[in-house]
């Protein structure tokens, strides 16, 4: 794979419908801008509509005539996830690319509307449910893709099935790591299930390395303190670089399904998109199967792979 793959290498996306969660800032916004520049039809799925409007205005200013709309989605509320999916299904007859990008990091202990620990609930369960509910549109769209963002932090994670809600003790960083490992395992497990059915839809995981985004606001939506901003600036790459693994996963013709794409620099921290083989070590079939079953039970969402 080329070490200098950039968004300029993306093929034209005319006629493709793309949903991006958390598209109002950071990686999601950069991905949306790149997709707009390649003529995709965009749905920006955001929790904060005011910030979403600002992002939409920016995208329209960069790419005149872009087909894009804003839709509200709160991944910490399954009712909101269901409402988003129902509205999308009414408005759109196809879905070429779903980018599960939105996330919160290292937040104080709190529960979602449905009683899930917030990071596991928002980062993993919300995206699991969204993907399952949008699956009919994905399966009816030839060669569609599902891109789920994990994190370099997940590489040292584990799933604590006995304490998913944090009731037996909570460490904000460990629960973030757990949620991002869940994202990775979900993406690979989903691709396995799609492949088993002989379907053309594929699922890919990716991570942005160390990128300068608003995750350091700890889910508050506010700017991080000056010290954290300085550390972030010194130790990370800009968001437009961090978005490259997402864009490669979503648009490169080289994607087969099941890959884990990240920066090619030392330790996967910075650089251009490449396949990160660490997923082959981290993927555990027994853990992934259990995670799928737990996710299905908690959300009430079942993936119907025969809906075409």
Residue-range domain boundaries for the chain: 9-299
Examine the residue annotation and report whether 272 is marked as an active-site residue of this protein: no
Which of 111, 151, 147 lies closest to 263 in space, CA to CA? 151
Question: 41: which 2 tokens?
Answer: 């039809």
pLDDT per residue as tens, the chain (308 positions): 446 899 999 999 999 999 999 999 999 999 999 999 999 999 999 999 999 999 999 999 999 999 999 999 999 999 999 999 999 999 999 999 999 999 999 999 999 999 999 999 999 999 999 999 999 999 999 999 999 999 999 999 999 999 999 999 999 999 999 999 999 999 999 999 999 999 999 999 999 998 666 554 444 445 555 544 444 554 678 888 999 999 999 999 999 999 999 998 777 778 899 999 999 999 999 999 999 999 999 999 999 998 65
CATH architecture of 9-299: 3-Layer(aba) Sandwich (3.40)
Question: 175: which 2 tokens?
Answer: 């629960």
DSSP three-state, residue 71: strand
C-alpha span between 187 and 147 (Å, rounded): 8
User: Whats the size of the chain, residue-wise?
Assistant: 308
Q: Which residues of 50-70 are buried (b: 16+ CB within 10 A; e: fewer)?
A: ebbeebbeebeeebeebebeb
C-alpha span between 267 and 138 (Å, rounded): 33
Instruction: Pick the catalytic residue from 176, 248, 260, 283.
Output: 176
pLDDT of residue 193: 98
C-alpha span between 60 and 87 (Å, rounded): 23
C-alpha span between 185 and 46 (Å, rounded): 24
DSSP run (H or E) holding 108: none
Per the listing, tokens 């992002």 go with: 55
pLDDT of residue 217: 43
Q: Which residues of 214-228 are buried (b: 16+ CB within 10 A; e: fewer)?
A: bbbbbbeeeebeeee
Q: In whole angstroms, how far apart are CA 3 and each of 11, 93, 101, 247, 249?
A: 18, 36, 23, 14, 15
DSSP three-state, residue 98: strand
DSSP secondary-structure letter at 11? P
DSSP three-state, residue 262: strand
């Amino acid at each position: 794979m080329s070490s200098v793959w950039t968004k300029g290498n993306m093929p034209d996306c005319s006629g493709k419908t793309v949903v991006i969660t958390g598209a109002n800032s950071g990686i999601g916004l950069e991905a949306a801008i790149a997709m707009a520049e390649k003529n995709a039809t965009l749905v920006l799925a955001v929790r904060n509509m005011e910030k979403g409007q600002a992002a939409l205005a920016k995208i329209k200013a960069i790419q005149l005539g872009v087909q894009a709309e804003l839709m509200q989605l709160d991944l910490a509320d399954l009712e909101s996830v269901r409402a988003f999916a129902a509205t999308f299904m009414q408005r759109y007859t196809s879905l070429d690319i779903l980018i599960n990008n939105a996330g919160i990091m290292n937040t104080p202990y709190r529960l979602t509307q449905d009683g899930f620990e917030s990071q596991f609930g928002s980062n993993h369960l919300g995206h699991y449910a969204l993907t399952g509910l949008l699956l009919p549109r994905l399966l009816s769209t030839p060669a569609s893709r599902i891109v789920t963002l994990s994190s370099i932090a997940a590489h040292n994670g584990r799933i604590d099935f006995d304490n998913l809600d944090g009731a037996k003790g909570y460490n904000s960083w460990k629960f973030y790591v757990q949620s991002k490992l869940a994202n990775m395992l979900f993406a690979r497990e989903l691709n396995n299930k799609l492949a088993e059915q002989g379907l053309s839809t594929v699922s890919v995981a990716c991570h942005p390395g160390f990128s300068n985004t608003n995750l350091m606001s700890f889910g508050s939506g506010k700017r991080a303190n000056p010290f954290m901003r300085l550390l972030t600036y010194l130790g990370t790459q800009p968001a437009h670089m961090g978005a490259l693994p997402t864009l490669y996963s979503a648009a490169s013709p080289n994607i087969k399904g099941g890959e884990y794409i990240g920066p090619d620099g030392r330790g996967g921290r910075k650089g251009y998109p490449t396949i990160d083989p660490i997923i082959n070590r981290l993927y555990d079939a027994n853990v992934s199967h259990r995670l799928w079953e737990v996710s299905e039970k908690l959300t009430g969402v079942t993936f119907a792979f025969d809906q075409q």
